[in-house]
Structure 1
Amino acid sequence: MTTFIFDVLKDLQNNNTNISKITFVLPSKRAGLFLKHQLPKVINQTVFSPEIISIEEFVEEMSKLKSISNTELLFEFYGTYTNLTKEENRDSFESFSKWAQILLQDFNEIDRYLIPQAKIFDYLGAIKEIESNHWSLDEKKTDFVKNYLAFWTKLYNYYNHFTKHLLNKNIGYQGLIYREAVENLESYIQNHNEKQHVFLGFNALNTAEETIIQELLENDIAQVYWDIDAVFINNLKHDAALFTRHHKSKWSFFKNNPFNWISENYSKEKNISIFGIPKNIGQAKYIGEILNNLQTTHQSLQNTAVVLGDENLLIPVLNSLPKSIDALNITMGFPLKSIPLASLFEALFHLHKNASNSFYYKDVINIISHQFIRPLLTIENIDYASKLIETIDTNNLVYLTKDRLKQIAIESSNIIDLLFSNWQKSIQNALNNCSQLILIIKNHLDKEKESNLLSLEYVFRFNELFNELNRLNSEYHHIKDISALYSVYKELLSNNTLDFQGEPLQGLQIMGMLESRVLDFETVIISSVNEGVLPSGKSNNSFIPFDVKIENNLPTYKEKDAVYTYHFYHLLQRAKNVYILYNTEADVLTGGEKSRFITQLELEGIHSINHQIIAPLVPIIEPSLNVIKKTETLQKQIIQLAGEGFSPSSLTNYIRNPIDFYYQKILKIKEHDDVEETVASNTLGTVVHNTLEDFYKPFEGKLLTLDSIKNLKLQIEEKVTFHFKNEYKEGDITKGKNLIIFEIAKRYVSNFLDLEIKHLKAGNTIKIIAIEANNEVLIDIPELNFPIKIRGKVDRVDEYNGVTRIIDYKTGSVQQNQVEIVNWEDLNTDYKKYSKSFQILAYAYMMHASKQISLPIEAGIISFKNLSSGFLKFAKKDKPGNYAKKDMLITQETINNFSDELNNLIKEICNPDIDFTEKEV
């Protein structure tokens, strides 16, 4: 296939033009690179290379102004704003930057389209004056309305002061540079009347560009080549030729001169396939599949382009490329905000944005665990990051100071200082800390340079970014707080990319839509062809109302959509194979329905189009339960565990899910003890248990009296506080939910003691037999030839009116039906219904086996959330239902029946032929 660039060069050669003396002006630098590559195909002798520049470089040369970044423009503009605004009415730099960005864009548009400034700003002020009359019918305007109107009347002053200031410094934004280029146009023509300019591949031109190109054409020192197809330009409703039709009909030059060119490539036969695919990742994966198929059919990717409508697809697409692709060029950079080092500085800004001398533990852990920080905290093989995290978890530290962190990791105090010194004291200190941190990370990475080349590139780019921040802060002094510094940092970060290295003219090309300008490819794959993406649709990021834009010939969303229409159809013009992908899933932010471009292609009827909805191949994965085979080694571990002793809770854990029993008791895997910001239910339970243990331990073997219980009530505050500090460590119980839970713990204990007093006043006798009684008994199971123990701790054993009771405390809610059974075999099968019955029967079994009690007895639960129900006794019912006969005494028969079920359970656990099989939850 031939390309537009090749055709232009061939036409110049046919017209005997000396190409070496031409200045080629193109829409982008990238197009210039392709033009330079095409030159040897046209010129077969040694010549001097022509000058090849982008339109931005060309107008910059004409204007004698240097373009500066958007961030620096903001700083310059803030100087204007402060000069023209009284101190009491000034916004902070952070607040200013939010609206100034929009205003600078409007300044840019006004200048690019050569709109008389006074006219449009006066117009805007008048409009706002009229609008304000609708807000307030009173003749006397409020201060808010006055300030609002004052802002609009100052816009022209802002513009004048700002542009004069920039011109004095020989710098400018794009619009100002264009306006100055037009001002200098006559001088440029006089000084370059022998120079020949060739403009090629342009489409949408602003007024300044139109003026420059027309003047050069009229003075016979320029040629212009358009790249438009007859199908588009002859269809007056086709937006792909919206601008070209305007240039052809409105420019006086074309009344007497030919219009180069209107081609006829679009109508040629093409293979166009449209694929609707769910989600962005689906599109990325399918792009990889298309490329793989192209290679399988021996098609070269040399003349193939992947054009990403949504540039966020870059990384998913790169991860989906076939491994067989050996040559690749990526024209868009990798966003700096997406590299790992960005998350570190994001975390640091998050930490320091609000002035504080203590830091939230999650923020601290997030920073010290970062991949670039953790190695710095490892000194002489001691991982101080792990030590810090362990100390935070062990001591339940929700907030930490810098000094506390330094105490824990004394050898890493210099790194701790850089990370956690209060940034609020000085913006310069904050920047210095970041720069020093970057240097330390760089020095560490240099130790193994070959394996850290990519990380070193990250560090280098962030060093550049913070150098720029330092320069802006030193030169302008507008950054007054960390929040403003963070705003500037984010602005710089969003505008910086990490460039990929590659051979720009070889292999597969991956690019954004704007990078495709002037370029032609045989095979094109376009992604994200959805409304809201291609085209982007309505957006109103401007202070200038829509009708004012129309009146002043400023571009609106219609013209911006037409730009993308041209680029889309230009990609299709000379292509032979076209693959168009769109997301079938509706998304509020990025659109969902297919683009109007697709509908237009289908309605044109020019090409035969293959339109398919692609469903991703999702393999059917049959859910399978985890099964652990009991190997010889595992069987030995089970025997060892049996000798150490099973607890009632571990046995009920097995009933609930054997896999959990395997993890916790065989592999000894414990759940990580996270910091408790809010007191956990198990901590509350431990505090209440320990408080009651302290209260009742001295009464073992004694009868309770009213006076003794009343004396205990006086100690509730002291004991509960003591045990909270013991369990909750350095967690704060003086405010918020924790204070409520602390009061609940006191209320639980107080209510329990009130219940005891109530029983005693009613004439009942209560004798404490044991508190937190330890039990450990051997179980004789004839089928098993190794020792087996069962062990556990009983909360309380007492005699109530002469009847022995085994009591288990529960701080949660328990109902009577949860300690009742009908069939003994259900104990080993239904955890939810019978786990509590199993536990209290196990306690009774152990105490009877160790001869600490005599049968019959009662066993049950006291639920602190259901204290009004009193002692919830275990009961054996003859049948289900509320009216069934209940036996609440635990007799020898009860113990024997439970013993059978207990033996069966232990035999199952120890049986080498029964695997640990996960239960469906």
Structure 2
Amino acid sequence: MTSFIFDVLKDLQQNRYNLSELTFVLPSKRAGLFLKHQIPKVSNKTLFAPKIISIEEFVEELSQLNSVTNTDLLFEFYTTYLKLTDKSQQDTFESFSKWSQILLQDFNEIDRYLIPQKQIFDYLSAIQEINHWSTEKNQTDFIKQYLSFWNKLSLYYDHFTTALINKGVGYQGLIYREAVENIESFIQNTNDEKFIFLGFNALNTAEEIIIKELLHNDIAEIYWDIDKVFLNNPKHDAALFTRQHKTNWTYFKKHLFKWETNHYSQEKSISVFGIPKNVGQAKYIGELLQDLKKENKNLKDTAVVLGDENLLVPILNSLPPDIEALNITMGFPLKSIPLASLFEALFRVHKTVSNSFYYKDVESILSHQFTRLLFSSADEDIVSKLVVYIKSNNLTYLTSEKLKTIAPKHSDIIDLFFSGWNASIDNVLSKCSTLIFAVKEKLDENKSYNKLSLEYIYRFNTLFNEIIRLNSEYRHIQDISSLYSVYKELLSSETLDFQGEPLKGLQIMGMLESRVLDYETVIISSVNEGILPSGKSNNSFIPFDVKLENKLPTYKEKDAVYTYHFYRLLQRAKNVYILYNTEADVLSGGEKSRFITQLELEGIHHINHQIIAPIVPKIEHNLKVVKKTSHLLEEIYKVAKSGFSPSSLTNYMRNPIDFYYQKILKIKEHEDVEETVAANTLGTVVHNTLEEFYKPFLNQFLTVDIVKNFKSEIEERVTYHFKKEYKEGDISKGKNLIVFEIAKRYISNFLNAEIEDLKAGNQIKILKIEADNMIELDIPELEFPVKLTGKVDRVDEYNGNTRIVDYKTGNVQQAQVEIINWNDITTDYKKYSKSFQVLTYAYMMYKSKQVILPIEAGIISFKNLSSGVLKFAKKESIRGKKDTFITEATLASFEVELKALISEICNPNIDFKEKEV
């Protein structure tokens, strides 16, 4: 395969041009490197390298203006805006930056296509006046300001461009316009210089005029790279622009049009693969490259072209490990490196001026790898200490002062992150710089860190130095939000460049980097509508019909540009692999691209079209089984010796694996800050408040007056217990306030029910409140002691009958404390766990001789208070007679099931087996 660049050099040599004396103008700098590499292949003698420049460099030289960054333009334009806009109508810099980017883009297009500025701005203003009925007398202030903005566009443009020219700088369009103004002078002062333009396609009006003037004055030649298949088909967009140039340029009436090639029609292997998701494409590209290496294909002549450049990182992670040489033309986005996430978190926290910070924001900053580096200490893990304190004290919002009391030795670092960010912007930028240098100092000390981290630090230092320069020159940044906007604008355009040998090995590039270059094997990813081509996006203030009228490019021309790039990649390639995402996504591309359909319909090549499904291993969910080893049995004996609680036994009934995790492995649930009061916290508060009310009246009969006195203390005691359990969590607003009121309502309703009971003539005597119990069980088949332990919420005497009562803040129904068959009580957790618990309490109280049978046991459900005490009952059948009294016979039957359950837990031959959920 000979490349387009090689063919151009060969033609120039045959026409006896001295390559050293030529100036090559190319669409990109990268193409110049490949051109320089091809010169030795056409020349058999030593020579000086020719001058090779990009079209942007050439036009800058013509215009005598230097290009500046988009951020510089933004700041300069805001200066113009402030001078020409009434102070009462001025937008903040942050608001201005959102719409001015679009206007700057329109200025650029208007200048590149040499549209008379006043004409188009007056036209746009007239359209807006018609749209908003400008002749109406009663216009609102908003409409007046809106129309005033459109009327000032011409003034904005004139003032802005004049200011830029006076500084010797410009945006691309202004540079092109000035270059056209200077072209005649340039030609007159050019002596024996020959310009070679090659690889161009879509030219703006300024470029056309410049190139045509040079051609007509015989100081330039131009080479097009277009295939006859596209050129001779009037409907093929790959040659849309080239057809126009060939037809409309008078130069080609007398001069040969170079070139129409025949490469596209030659035999090619073209495969199209539909693959789900972007990561699927990245993984499959890795497989393709592995296969190419096995076939001894030279990866030097292979290019991976990314339709969506966000695939770069997944593809790098999917490359075969044995690829030695690799060149990546695009840089790694600076916004994707770890330090960017730290500054993102800092700006997010401080965008809203506040002295307190949400705990999750604080944790995200503290847990960052570079923050941990700053807090690193030989004797303790400061970050973990801070995080544990926040969670254990339930701190939803924190101040910097609070953090400093927890870690007083690191006050300076805490101040760096959390103090003084609502001061001047200069102070904030100083903090950012201090942070960068503090991290650098720690990296220098800590040799275990990757050297790449220092490169991150250097690039961010450069970025913030640029912001400091812009702010000191223009003073437009007035708050954190504006600073954040500027930061994001600079960050989005910055990349971390890869270092490598550009002419060796596999090439990974974006679509625009492929201009002028040719490869034998091409892999193109993300060939979906909305990506290739990009579709009908119109980020402009200029309406579609106005663009057509003034011959400005629309989405059709933009699509034609990508059509040319796509087909040009295919022209000389022998092996083509086209990948697209089968999962259409509005945000990241739609259905497969029209380019694929066009390839299939044109019938020139056989297309191997496949849908590739990723290999998804069938993961069978096997229920966990934990064998009871000798060590595990020892742990079970320890639990048995310390005592099984009713909740741990019902936990085993629900799922033996949960019992194993919690009681044997001692794995606790993950502790986190309770932003909203959890159900268990609510239950604890209710239990503790009732315990405090009733405990002073043990062995006393309750009276209406006693209970009424409790009611007057509800507010105070519930508040006290909430603060005790919920620590420093806020219960003064939001959902927490609602839960607080629910707790008060639960207790108030319970006390009201108690008062009604007493008024009805019932006698209630409190015997026990939160009574601790521990008994030893005699299980003959077990050769070690087994104990039961638990705390009973309340034991009372109701009209002479002893009752054991368990409080539940959830909803419990009567059916949940009734049983028909005894052997069901330890097998069906959902139905009988409540019955099991109350019977266990009754059994312990009886065995410890704290009650005399018969007794009653039941549950008071605070969500079902109207049902009173939900008493345990043994039923003869589903509709049979209920017996609510617990007798020796009842407990004897329960004891059998209880001992059988504990025996099963302790049985070395019965493993812990997970239950189906």
TM-score (norm. length: structure 1)? 0.99
Q: Give deviations 1:250-275, integer Å, cap 9, x for gaps.
A: 11111100011111100000000111
The CA distance in 1 between the partners of 2:889 and 2:332, in whole Å, is: 76
Does residue 1:25 correspond to 2:25, yes or no? yes
Per-residue deviation, 1:411: 0.9
1:775 Cα deviation from its structure 2 partner: 0.4
1:672-699 residue CA offsets vs partner (Å, 9 max, x unmatched):
2211111111111111100111111111
Residue equivalent to 1:37:
37
| Residue aligning to 1:688 | 686
Which SS does the other structure have where 1:372 is aligned?
helix
- The answer as to whether partners of 1:446 and 1:452 remain within 8 angstroms in 2 is no
Q: Secondary structure at the match of 1:862?
A: strand
Write the distance in 2 (CA, Å) between the matches of 1:179 and 1:115.
Answer: 10
Partner in structure 2 of residue 456 of structure 1: 454
Where 1:194 maps in the other structure, the secondary structure is: coil
1:810 Cα offset (Å):
0.6
Q: Distance in 2 between matches of 1:496 and 1:217?
A: 37
1:642-653 pair list within 5 angstroms: 642-653=640-651
Counterpart-to-counterpart distance in 2, 1:68 and 1:641: 74
**Residue matched to 2:215:** 217
Q: How does 1:255-654 map to 2 (within 5 A)?
A: 255-449=253-447, 451-654=449-652
CA drift of 1:368 comes to 0.5
Q: Tell me the amino acid that sits aligned with residue 35 of structure 2.
A: L
The one-letter amino acid of 1:824's match is W
How many Å separate the matches in 2 of 1:37 and 1:833?
A: 81
Give the drift of 1:385: 1.1
Distance in 2, matches of 1:405 and 1:448, equals 26
Partner of 2:74: 74
SS in 2 for 1:829: coil
Distance 1:137 1:759, change over 3 A: farther
Among 758, 766, 784, the residue aligned to 1:768: 766
User: Structure 1 residues 411 and 450 mapped into 2: Cα distance closer, same or farther (>3 Å)?
Assistant: closer
Q: Which residue of 1 aligns with 2:785?
A: 787
| CA apart distance, 1:746 | 1.3
AA of the residue aligned to 1:384:
I
1:12 is displaced (CA, Å) by 0.8
Distance 2:524 2:790 in 1: 68
The CA deviation string for residues 181-209 of structure 1, in whole angstroms up to 9 with x for no partner, is 11111111122231111000000000111
Q: Deviations over 1:298-355 (max 9, x none)?
A: 2121100011111111111111111111111111111111111111111101100000
| Range with greater deviation from structure 2 (189-198 or 108-117) | 189-198
Instruction: Give the SS at the match of 1:382.
Output: coil
One-letter amino acid of the structure 2 residue matched with residue 265 of structure 1: H
Q: 1:737 aligns with which of 735, 738, 752?
A: 735
Distance 2:200 2:873 in 1: 90
Deviation readout 1:629-684 (Å, 9 max, x if unpaired) = 11111111111111111110011111111111111111111112211111111111
Give yes or no for the alignment of 1:108 onto 2:108.
yes
Distance 1:604 1:811 in 2: 72
AA partner of residue 85 (structure 1) = T
Q: Distance in 1 between matches of 2:544 and 2:447?
A: 56
2:48 alignment counterpart: 48
Higher mean C-alpha displacement, 604-613 vs 40-49: 40-49
User: What is the identity, as a one-letter code, of the residue corresponding to 1:542?
Assistant: S
Q: TM-score, normalised on structure 2? A: 0.99
- Residue 660 of structure 1 is matched in structure 2 by 658
**Separation in structure 2 between the aligned mates of residue 350 and residue 591 of structure 1, nearest angstrom:** 29
Structure 1 letter corresponding to 2:285: I
Give distance in 2, aligned partners of 1:296 and 1:581. 21
CA distance in 1, matches of 2:485, 2:407: 32
Residue 911 (str. 1) matches residue 907 (str. 2): yes
Contact 1:193/1:221 (8 A) holds in 2: no
Identity %: 72
User: Could you give the per-residue CA deviations for residues 834-884 of structure 1, whole angstroms, max 9, x where no partner exists?
Assistant: 11111111101111111111111100000111111000000111222xx32
Code of the aligned partner of 1:207 = T
- Whether contact under 8 Å (1:352, 1:422) holds in the other structure is no
What per-residue deviation string (whole Å, max 9, x for no partner) do you get for residues 355-378 of structure 1? Answer: 001111111111001111012123
Deviation, 1:897, is 1.2
Amino acid at match of 2:44: N
For 1:763 and 1:593, the matched residues in 2 are separated by 78
Q: Which runs of 5+ in 2 are unaligned?
A: none
Whether 2:876 is the aligned partner of 1:878: answer yes
2-structure distance, mates of 1:337, 1:707: 69
1:444-463 per-position Cα deviation (integer Å, ceiling 9, x unaligned): 11123464211111111111
Q: Show the counterpart of 2:9.
A: 9
> 1:440 & 1:830 partners in 2: Cα distance?
61
CA distance in 2, matches of 1:899, 1:454: 68
Amino acid in the other structure paired with 2:655? N
- Of residues 100-109 and 281-290 in structure 1, the stretch that sits farther from structure 2 once superposed is 281-290
| Aligned partner letter, 1:62 | L
Counterpart check, 1:893 vs 2:884: no
Could you tell me how far 1:761 is from its partner in structure 2? 1.1
Q: Write the letter of the residue equivalent to 1:638.
A: I
Contact 1:65–1:170 under 8 Å retained in 2: yes
Alpha-carbon contact 1:218-1:253 (below 8 Å) kept: yes
CA distance in 2, matches of 1:497, 1:326: 23
Conserved? CA contact 1:770–1:796, under 8 Å = yes
Amino acid at match of 2:27: P
Q: 1:534 aligns to what SS in structure 2?
A: coil
Q: Which residues of structure 1 form unaligned runs of 5+?
A: none
The Cα shift of 1:137 comes to 7.5
Q: Does the 8 A contact of 1:355 with 1:422 survive in 2?
A: no
Count residues with an aligned counterpart.
Answer: 917
- Residue type matched to 1:126 in 2? A
Is the 1:709–1:753 contact (alpha carbons within 8 Å) kept by the matching residues of 2? yes
Return the alpha-carbon distance in structure 1 between the equivalents of residues 56 and 618 of structure 2.
55
* 1:379 positional shift: 2.4
Q: Counterpart of 1:902?
A: 898
CA contact 1:356–1:422 (8 Å) conserved in 2: no
Deviation at 1:56, TM superposition (A): 0.5
Q: SS of the residue aligned with 2:592?
A: coil
The letter for the 2-side match of 1:848 is Y
Aligned partners of 2:298 and 2:580: how far apart in 1?
25
CA distance in 2 between partners of 1:247 and 1:520 (Å): 23
Q: CA deviation at 1:44?
A: 2.2
CA contact (8 A) 1:357 1:422 kept: no
Q: Deviations over 1:786-824 (max 9, x none)?
A: 111110000001110111100000111111011111111
Instruction: Report the CA distance between 1:154 and its aligned residue.
Output: 0.6
Aligned counterparts, 1:137-216, within 5 A = 138-216=136-214
Q: Alpha carbon RMSD of aligned pairs, Å? A: 1.1
Give the superposition deviation at 1:592. 2.7
Structure 2 CA distance for aligned equivalents of residues 884 and 330 of structure 1: 81
Q: After the TM superposition, which segments of 4 or more aligned residues of structure 1 sit over 6 Å from their partners? A: none
The Cα of 1:590 is off from its aligned counterpart by 2.5
User: Residue 798 of structure 2 corresponds to which residue in structure 1?
Assistant: 800
**Which of 704, 723, 734 matches 1:725?**
723
CA contact (8 A) 1:111 1:179 kept: yes
Distance in 1 between residues matched to 2:326 and 2:839, nearest whole Å:
72
AA of the residue aligned to 2:894: F
Whole-angstrom CA distance in 1 between matches of 2:522 and 2:671 = 54
